Chain A
């Protein structure tokens, strides 16, 4: 049986991992390579690196990082954040990343998804979608797509947008609830389920995981294929192993 995936997300700034690095017993927990190898050893199924480098000049560092990770870590990894052109996608994949995630640029230039998929294969193109409820208390009013780090409404309906990106050739959807992100209240599983039932490509649930039950809910209630979390792993509230054991106890198929 295909296993559901558990994916730690690492924020990278100027080539260094930020957030939570002081909690890990590593020589240099700010080093993306060392951290990636650590999570691989703990049986993380994949890794997502999100480049939050502000300045354009520093963008080179993420490519160098991808190359170094690819030399030491042999599980799939995605690099996203600030990708704006087919050239960015090419550089990151050639450096050794398995997938790139595109967000704002895909909304502004949807053709980027089609060109990326055509050139490198759908499996390399993850479309990140930041979603916010139109009405916090009423999911039946739907969700709106946000861009630029969740600050700007894109004027698109989430369910229409995910159907479009699937048609354009996206390989997976990394779906973040802006309402839940950082709250630790659990994923927006109405959102996850609505998107999972709309598309035939895998959906990665993100935004709001605060405990292990939330991960299980993302899969069972949200129908997600993978669950992504940051702080619960980085601050060692739970190890990946504990997460896998909990999910297995909930009758969810995971890789041990």
Chain B
């Protein structure tokens, strides 16, 4: 069973429905014991980093995530679920900048897209360029389009963890993969055939 961590942020049903569509049982759950028993875990998320970390802590999920990752079972972060894996994020609201601590699985930071003539958030279909090979992108043609909605991106300290890159004013890391942990900035559950292939690749990992 695939557990999808519910910590009160956003609608997680589409991830569950996408797994069901391709024939894998997944369950949205807020119970730490369900998650610890799962074969695989998905950490989804939309919205603001600080608020999400607060909710994650309140739901008692911070030690659960760490434990699952240490256990070696396949782990997938989606969208904000990628960003939360990093050490810290500098969120900008109006003129104010605040720093928020993340889960710290990967060294590195989460940054806002630089001011340019491009619109922020980036909303829509953009391409991923493969940086290294990993099971998650098996059968996914290089340069495939996937669906993004985000204002922040991750900057890993160790470039070796970068799985794929995307270009939006800057070339940024749109996916990471290291041992049993993978995470993507885009929404595979909204990326049509390519996205379903990625979810299938995850579901079939051991």
Residue positions of A touching B, CB distance < 8 A: 1-5, 40, 43, 45, 70-72, 74-76, 93-94, 96, 98, 120-123, 171-172, 200-202, 225-226, 255-256
With A and B bound together, what is the CA distance between A120 and B11 in angstroms? 9
With A and B bound together, what is the CA distance between A200 and B124 in angstroms? 15
Contact for B124 among A5, A74, A94, A121, CB less than 8 A: A5
With A and B bound together, what is the CA distance between A3 and B196 in angstroms? 20
Contact for B14 among A45, A96, A200, A202, CB less than 8 A: A96
Binding site of B, secondary structure by majority: helix, strand, loop or mixed?
mixed
Binding site of A, secondary structure by majority: helix, strand, loop or mixed?
loop
Chain B residues, Cβ within 8 Å of A71: 17, 20-21
Chain B residues, Cβ within 8 Å of A121: 10, 46-47
Chain B residues, Cβ within 8 Å of A201: 119
B81-125 interface (Cβ within 8 A of A): 118-125
Contact at B120–A76, with CB atoms within 8 Å?
A: no
Chain B residues, Cβ within 8 Å of A98: 14, 190
Chain B residues, Cβ within 8 Å of A172: 123
Residue positions of B touching A, CB distance < 8 A: 10-11, 13-14, 17-18, 20-21, 46-47, 118-127, 145, 147-149, 167-168, 189-192, 195-196
Contact at A74–B126, with CB atoms within 8 Å?
A: no
7 new A-B contacts at CB < 8 Å, known A74-B196, A98-B14: A2-B124, A43-B192, A74-B14, A76-B147, A123-B46, A172-B123, A225-B124
Contact at A226–B124, with CB atoms within 8 Å?
A: yes
Chain A residues, Cβ within 8 Å of B21: 71-72, 74
Contact for B125 among A45, A70, A94, CB less than 8 A: A45
4 tightest A-B CB contacts, nearest first: A255-B145, A255-B125, A3-B125, A123-B149
B115 to chain A, nearest CB (A): 10
Chain B residues, Cβ within 8 Å of A40: 192
Contact for B121 among A70, A72, A120, A123, CB less than 8 A: A123
B113 to chain A, nearest CB (A): 11
Contact at B120–A200, with CB atoms within 8 Å?
A: yes
B27 to chain A, nearest CB (A): 16
Find the residue from B13, B17, B192 having the highest chain A CB count within 10 A.
B192
Find the residue from A3, A43, A75 having the highest chain B CB count within 10 A.
A75
Q: Which residue of A lies closest to B10 (CB)?
A: A121
Chain A residues, Cβ within 8 Å of B118: 2
